[in-house]
Chains A and B, each alone.
Chain A
Amino acid sequence: MTSSKQALAHSASSADAAPGEQPGAAGRAHGRGTPPEPGPGSWRSKLYRWDMKASPYAFISPFFIVFGAFSLVPLLYTAWYSLHNVQLSDLDGQSWAGLKNYENLLSSDFFWNSLWVTFTIGVISTVPQLLMAIGLAHLLNYKLRGSVVWRVVMLTPYATSVAAATLVFVLLYSWDGGMINWMLGFVGIDPVNWTESDWGSKFAVSTIVIWRWTGYNALIYLAAMQAIPADLYESAAIDGANRWQQFLHVTIPQLRPTILFTVVVSTIGATQLFGEPLLFGGVSGSKGGSGHQFQTLGLYMYDQGWIIGNLGKASAIAWSMFLILLIVAAVNLLISRRLRKSQ
């Protein structure tokens, strides 16, 4: 804890110093990295010092400029829009709405539905995905013949485009003639209408997510597992722990920070889930099925903004999503603190 506090204080003080580091004030500065120069007043040395100070900022500025132009400005603009009545067809004709868009959202069944859908699909895709990823990583961690091949294969789904993957899944899940219903038929189960059934559609969308991301997470776990010192296992083995016990009592605790990281990343991904359900839904995908059974928050926002053309409300949804993500981040922070304390 203390070290991070120090780091914070440090960065804050250097930020404070930044405005002072103007060319004119260069003589006053005596920061690190300024070598003792003969003739401190000379123009050359001023330039040199200025260069030392300013260059780093110049070098990192592209990111911040791009971030400002393409993330920050749209973000703030979206906030502005969310307080107005704005139609896509009449961007200039906006009128002040105050918090009405948010009030509408809170009283809209579709909003709560999409929140629920996002949550459920998030849970049923993230939990099995991460469990499977740990299992796979554990297997890959054994000495295997052709281990590189296995690892590359694991990453292939991740490298596939969402669109291509989803289109294949759509065919697999097709109501009549789809492979999955065909196989269910062998076990004597009636065909399921995967796009229209409530849980069936959520399950189907989750499998696409699971398929795409399991390998990716497994590789992250694998990397972390390989960083676990071998002597921990050796001493565990000497103590008589079998493979499973080693996994449970050595691997998992050592992986804790990594698990936390993947949970956070997956949660953010799940909150923003968009491409898979949109394409899964076909021609009117933004509705998420005739009963909105798989309309996630992302889809609801897209539907409001670009299909219906109600940009004010869509902006309000965007900001609500942003707030939800902040809450998720805060909860995660609390949990990670507690975890660190308990260690």
Chain B
Amino acid sequence: MRTSTRGSRRLMALAAAAALTTGLLAGCAEDSDDGPSNEGGGGGKTTLTVGTFGTFGYKQAGLYDEYMKLNPDITIKENVTTKTDVYWPKVLTRLQAGAGTDDIQAIEVGNVTEAVQTQADKFVDLGKEVDKSQWLDWKNAQATTKDGKLIGLGTDIGPMAVCYRKDLFQKAGLETDRTKLAEQWKGDWGKYVDLGKEYMKKAPSGTKFVDSASSVYNAVLNGASERYYDKDGNVVWEKSAGVKTAWDTAMEVATSDMSAKLKQFEKPWDQGYANATFATVACPAWMIGYILEQSGDAGKGKWDVAAAPTAGNWGGSFIGVPTASKHQKEAIALAKWLTAPEQQAKVFAKQASFPSAPSAYSTLKPADATTEYFSNAPITEIFSASAKTIPTQYFGVKDQPIGTALTDIGILQVEQKGKSPEEGWDAATEEIKDVLGQ
């Protein structure tokens, strides 16, 4: 469930390469190659398959084993595709072929609008099966079609905070108390950037304030109520106030020297965590687990978490049941169980993936090791507070590629090639035109 708008893309290159080759060679003719696992039948045992990408944490938190113990006639198998951009095209082709899908299929937030708008008839309407009020309203809204069909149940969400290195802040002579820091930048990411300028004046050698301009861009954009599309599904990215604020803030970072100029989810970024070369990172809940993993023992007790300037949501997923599933009833029951508040709390305890069910918040407990690692920061309260004030955001069919064009073409050209913000914007514009087929 560690997801981002780029999906969770830790390069598992072998899998990627293999999938790419088959994808390229066989294209669409290959849809129904491995109709998985529906051969349950024998001995009354039903095998359910769960298709996910990245680390969802169900297995890690022992949920499958628990469910199989509660339901002896069910066997669960998880099919993981590591990269979202490999996973999703595969799901799309299989959904349309009506064959080869898993009984439960995960949907990333960046793809959910596409699923709602183009694949709604391929998914079971879960709205009648569950008590919708257990999820945050905006989470439900993202997976609901115009005529009120709920195609996916919310798993985690990505409420945002800022993670920072207390030790580096101290060396740079900045405030280190998380509450006072949050006060300093409250309401405006611009103030956060201003603090970055302060930081750079006395920055410990070899360190920068933030990992990348793109991460600042995403942090700002994910708190805005308007992104690339309006409520009615029209492309408005060029005029969107959210995009403009996010772009301008990111440009301020990109044209200063406060960015370590890393690309998220790439190896040098991981090394940046390990070597403490940047002092802050925009921190959706799932980032906690990532920092733990990458910063390692050396970062223990040096990281801290403060509330973000504005609340926002970065990442998060849904699970849906394709109508092609041969065990719909069992699959719906499993999906319901996996996304119930109690189970979400268990995943949080293991992976720090933040629940989309508010009733779980009172029971949330991060692992002791996590708390200790982040200087005893009350991460549960910080993320809960953020989660409750996140605006409803409307995503569009081409949300992902538009976002990639702005960050990986536009911002990167400014940040790494020294182009002017105008040139970066133009390059992104040209790219987006290509994406939208204009």
Report A's interface with B, CB cutoff 8 A: 69-70, 73-74, 77-78, 81, 87-92, 104, 108-110, 161-164, 166-167, 170-171, 174-177, 193, 196, 274-275, 278-279, 282-284, 286-287, 290-291, 298, 301-302, 305-311, 313
The prevalent SS among residues of A at the interface is helix
CB B149 to nearest CB in A, in angstroms, measures: 17
**Residue among A81, A174, A307 making CB contact with B401, cutoff 8 Å:** A307
Q: Contacting B267 at CB < 8 Å: which of A74, A174, A196?
A: A174
A269 to chain B, nearest CB (A): 14
What are 13 inter-chain pairs, A to B, with CB distance below 8 A? Answer: A88-B89, A89-B114, A109-B430, A164-B14, A175-B261, A177-B268, A279-B16, A291-B427, A301-B24, A302-B20, A306-B23, A307-B401, A309-B401
A333 CB to nearest chain B CB (Å): 26
Interface centre among B11, B400, B434 (most CB of A within 10 A): B434
Chain B residue with minimal CB distance to A110? B434
B residues touching A (Cβ–Cβ < 8 Å)?
6, 9, 11, 13-14, 16-17, 20-21, 23-29, 85-86, 89, 92-93, 96, 114, 118-119, 261, 263-268, 271, 397-398, 400-401, 404, 408-410, 412-413, 416-417, 427, 430-431, 434-435, 437
**B259: shortest Cβ distance to chain A, in Å?**
13
Interface centre among B14, B400, B416 (most CB of A within 10 A): B416
Which B residues lie within 8 Å of A109 (CB)?
430
* Contact in complex: A313, B437 (CB < 8 Å): yes
User: Is A163's CB under 8 angstroms from B267's CB?
Assistant: no
Residues of chain B contacted by A274 (CB below 8 angstroms): 20, 24
Count of A-B contacts with CB under 8 A?
Answer: 131
A176-B267 Cα distance, complex, nearest whole Å? 12
- Let me know if B28 and A77 touch, CB within 8 A: yes
Nearest-CB distance from B388 to chain A (Å)? Answer: 31
Contact for B13 among A81, A89, A164, A171, CB less than 8 A:
A164
A158 to chain B, nearest CB (A): 16
Minimum CB–CB distance from B154 to chain A (whole Å) comes to: 22
Q: Which residues of chain A have C-beta atoms less than 8 A from B92's C-beta?
A: 88-89, 309
With beta carbons under 8 angstroms apart, the residue of B261, B263, B413, B416 that contacts A283 is: B263
Q: Establish whether residues B16 and A163, one from each chain, have CB atoms under 8 Å apart when the complex forms.
A: yes
* B14 in contact with A161 (CB, 8 Å): yes
Q: How far is the CB of B430 from chain A (nearest CB, A)?
A: 7
Given contacts A164-B13, A174-B268, contact A291 B417 (CB under 8 A): yes
Cα distance, A70 to B266, chains bound together (Å): 35
**Contact pick for B96, options A91, A193, A278, A290, CB 8 Å:** A91
